[in-house]
Chain A
Amino acid sequence: MDILIYGIINSATLALMAMGFTLVYGVSRLPNFAHGALYVLAGYICWLLLNELGIPYILAVFIALAFVAAVGGAMYQFILVRIRGMAISEIIASYAIGLAILEGLRWGGLKGGTFTLAPFVEGSIEILGVSVDWQRLLVVGLGTVLVGLLWIFVNQTRLGLALKGMAQDERAALTLGIDSDRMAVASMALGSLSAAVAALIILPLGSIVVEAGYHVLIMAVAVCIVGGLGSWTGALLAAFVIGFAQILTVAYLGAHFQVVVALLAIIATLILRPSGIFGRQKELEERV
């Protein structure tokens, strides 16, 4: 039974991590390799505000969210927009930015395990005979809320529908007067926001370390590849598949095999069904 509970929690965690990445790729076809860096940045900013400036927790959280969203948008507006369309450059540039942020943070002092954020709610609760921290429940709960909000946003609001239109057919959206660059900025900001939300919910469970940035990037990418680059439902499903696979591995084989699961999932997907579970994009075919 604990496998079920832990499985759900792990899957929700993965889904939360991957949301931002899949959002940006789905809308602007931009693989944001700085995703992990933004995640860690959010945690660090919050910690700074909390501990160095003594700002109350709730306020610090909101400021951190806003800050990271702004960084994401600015990243696009000032840097990525200049190399839009050149796939190689986009990948390298976003990777470089992420790297600069992460290693810059490491040099700036983010070393060792002393950077922690307090969980929102202390203590734990028993569910079906398994002891679960409140914070972990919060991950599942807030994660579901986030996904729900995103869904509502994309399907009901004007901006969201515009983003969805962009994702489906950029040219058609352009002819309808939707500015692709502004949309891309919006999607980057939203994606960064998601990364930040994920960070601020998940990081309290451990400590803030630079390695988390790389870990999150790997996991987000794994989830997106298995689920299909650009498909949100696919990412959700993939998060569950990988999440449960990891928990099962921990239960029967040992904790250090978690990473192997991610690796195997990627390789298996690429061999068996390259476009992922719900991948909308075909491979190198379908060209005029």
Chain B
Amino acid sequence: MAEPILNVRDVNKAFGGVQALAGVSFDLMPGDILGVIGPNGSGKTTLVNAITGFIKIDSGQVIYKGRDLKGLAPHKIADLGLTRTFQVMRPYFSLPAYKNLIVPLFSPRARRTGGWRGGGRMGSRDTVAVDILEEIGFERESYVPYKNASSLPTGYLKRLELARCLALRPDIIICDEVFSGLSMSEMASMVPLMEKLQMEGVTLIMVEHRLRELFRLAGRVLVMNFGAKITEGTPDEVMANPEVKEAYFGSEEVFSYV
């Protein structure tokens, strides 16, 4: 039985008077997909920022592969293999899609590992970039990898964001709302992509609002509200939990007035 790849223990973070994170704890086993859900403002993105080092936490621990991440800069954490996507994507719009992967491929980690699919030292960065895009669903034979990022629809942009993480050959990808803004057909091809990543050995944490698709993928789900973890369990357990319903929809009494 494996060790957890990530332990989050009792993490607290306050911004002035607002408690953004209140004693959040969970374990993540390698190869799992963990969903993180909760209403807007519940602290999901703050949690992601805290784990990946973009925010300093007030107290608590984040342990990744047995190593305490306290005080490490975000780029160092990414260098260790803990990557994340961004909700608001800002690729280089005037450049072709594959050029957007040059920056992560330039990083020390990518150069050590050869990037996704690379076997060791990296060859030409451009070739590796196009390879990664093909993996992620950009059809190679077409001209899509070479299109300017400004002309790509949302689905492709989300994939580009994932590709940015893949270039580092990560152990964990924390996906911050990758399903948002996708059309039904784009969604239909995104779900198998996440499954494929899981099969390739990447552990995923998915922060999401679109629950139906998330519940098909996630083995376990963590629910947050007002910065605290309300509950954790399988998708069924979580949906049956009355506290979760209350968090999203308000309590029974409210309904009776409606």
Contacts and interface: CB of A to CB of B under 8 A. Distances in A.
B88 A285 contact: no
Q: Is the interface of A mostly helix, strand, loop or mixed?
A: loop
A286 B56 CA distance: 9
A285 B55 CA distance: 7
A170 to B, nearest CB: 16
Contacts of B45: 288
A286 B54 CA distance: 7
B88 A286 contact: no
Interface in A239-288: 285-288
A285 B75 CA distance: 12
Interface residues of B, number: 5
Interface string B154-167: 00000000000000
A286 B16 CA distance: 13
Contacts of B88: 288
A275 B88 CA distance: 27
B141 to A, nearest CB: 38
A225 to B, nearest CB: 21
A130 B88 CA distance: 64
Contacts, number: 7
A286 B88 CA distance: 15
Interface residues of A, number: 4
A288 B56 CA distance: 14
A287 B45 CA distance: 11
Nearest to A287: B54
Interface string B80-113: 0000000010000000000000000000000000
A172 to B, nearest CB: 13
A275 to B, nearest CB: 12
A287 B88 CA distance: 11
A41 B220 CA distance: 68
Contacts of A288: 45, 88
A288 B45 CA distance: 9
Interface in B189-235: none
A285 B53 CA distance: 9
Contacts of B54: 285, 287
B20 to A, nearest CB: 11
Interface in B8-55: 45, 54-55
A224 B107 CA distance: 36
Nearest to B74: A285
Interface in B140-195: none
Contacts of A285: 54-56
A257 B88 CA distance: 50
Interface in B53-75: 54-56
A42 to B, nearest CB: 38
B121 to A, nearest CB: 32
Contacts of B55: 285-286
A15 B54 CA distance: 35
A223 to B, nearest CB: 25
A138 to B, nearest CB: 40
A99 B219 CA distance: 64
Contacts of B56: 285
A84 to B, nearest CB: 23
A192 B66 CA distance: 56
A278 to B, nearest CB: 15
Nearest to B54: A285
Nearest to B73: A285
A288 B54 CA distance: 10
Interface of A: 285-288
7 contacts: A285-B54, A285-B55, A285-B56, A286-B55, A287-B54, A288-B45, A288-B88
A-B pairs, top 3 by smallest CB distance, nearest first, are A285-B54, A285-B55, A286-B55
